[in-house]
Amino acid sequence: MARPPTAEGQLRAEEQTAYSHLPDFVSTAKQQIRSREAERGPPGQRPKVLDLMARMGSGNIQAKLVLLGHMGTGKTSIVLRFVKGQYFDSQESTIGAAFFSQVLSLNEATVKFDIWDTAGQERYHSLAPMYYRGAAAAIVVYDISSMDSFIRAKKWVQELQRQGNPYLIMALVANKVDLEAKRKVGAEEGLQYAQENGLFFMETSAKTAENINELFYEIAKRLAKARPSRSSGMRLSSETQDRGRRLFCCSG
Ligand SMILES: Nc1nc2c(ncn2[C@@H]2O[C@H](COP(=O)(O)OP(=O)(O)O)[C@@H](O)[C@H]2O)c(=O)[nH]1
Ligand SMILES: [Mg+2]
């Protein structure tokens, strides 16, 4: 006679189902990462700046950037808006992670972002370290219309603080500000949390493009801060996009 399942047994069965597809995904992800690493050359021959970013020559910075956050908060939409100037109302869910690159020219430096856009699903959580390891910058995204996503964002921040590197530039991004009528997380709440944790904070909308360029510009500026000569100004290499108005910045 079959025994009733124990809570532990049930959990193990659920885990098995959730993780059954992971081996394939892990090998694809590892291949993706290996090919990116190969492009950067052998580790011993890479320029070392705290091993966070590789400088490609005078005034050029190559920086790995990772996006983290609950599924559906708009991570992919933020990247697509920045990289391609596109937005889709029915953006498909990311499977595993996706890679993008974009160059942003400041007056003082040219920053090439290698962007890893991760999937927000819990079942991919164990893979996240592969993407944030060695990152120079991280964008943790929540959706202003979802308190759950804000709680999840705080967990990502804690994980990055625990396991990421101490020099990581971290941005807390409150996305979907166009959904003001459905707002559940106040701007002050996000800003306060960011200030207490040494992050910089921005409210964005991938839909309207509000503060999207500003977000990446701020990160690029912080990456370039180590450089001796500095001035301000931004130029996107591919296209000029709408400049937003809302900006809550900066701490950290
Ligand atoms: N209203 C609104 N919807 C957005 C915004 N950004 C993303 N979305 C929508 O939210 C859903 C999830 O977006 P997606 O980029 O796939 O989120 P991800 O899972 O974090 O990558 C999609 O239907 C998007 O069209 C935004 O700024 N405003
Ligand atoms: Mg996505």
Closest-CA residue to 234 (of 102, 138, 86, 100): 102
State the pLDDT confidence band at 163, using cuts at 50, 70 and 90: confident
* Model pLDDT for residues 185-222, shown as the tens digit of each residue: 999 999 999 999 999 999 999 999 999 999 999 999 99
CA 166 to chain CA centroid, nearest Å: 16
Nearest CA to ligand 1 atom 14: 74
Q: Is 75 in the pocket of ligand 1 (CB under 6 A)?
A: yes
State the closest ligand 1 atom to the C-alpha of 69, by its place in the atom list counted from 1. Answer: 20
Q: How far is the CA of 204 from the centre of ligand 1 (A)?
A: 11
pLDDT given for residue 226 in this prediction: 55
3-state SS, one letter per residue, for the chain:
CCCCCCHHHHHHHHHHHHHCCHHHHHHHHHHHHHHHHHHHCCHHHCCCCCCCEEEEECCEEEEEEEEEECCCCCHHHHHHHHHHCCCCCCCCCCCCEEEEEEEEEECCCEEEEEEEEECCCHHHHHHHHHHHCCCCEEEEEEECCCHHHHHHHHHHHHHHHHHCCCCCEEEEEEECHHHHHHCCCCHHHHHHHHHHCCCEEEECCCCCCCCHHHHHHHHHHHHHCCCCCCCCCEEECCCCCCCCCCCCCCCC
Nearest to 104 by CA among 115, 117, 118, 92: 115
The model's confidence at residue 158, banded by pLDDT at 50, 70 and 90, is very high
Q: What is the pTM of this model?
A: 0.76
Q: Give the lowest-confidence range in 81-95, 98-112, 224-238.
A: 224-238
**Residue to probe by mutation, ligand 1, list 66, 73, 77, 122, most atoms within 8 Å of CB:** 77
152 C-beta closer than 6 A to ligand 1: no
Over residues 51-58, the mean pLDDT reads 48
Task: Find the 118 Cα to ligand 2 centroid distance in Å.
Answer: 6
Confidence of residue 241 (pLDDT cuts 50, 70, 90): very low
19-248 CATH, one of 3.40.50.300, 3.40.50.720, 1.20.120.790, 2.30.30.40: 3.40.50.300
Q: How far is the CA of 77 from the centre of ligand 1 (A)?
A: 6
Q: Please indicate whether residue 9 or residue 102 has the higher confidence score (pLDDT).
A: 102
Distance 78 CA to ligand 1 centre (A): 8
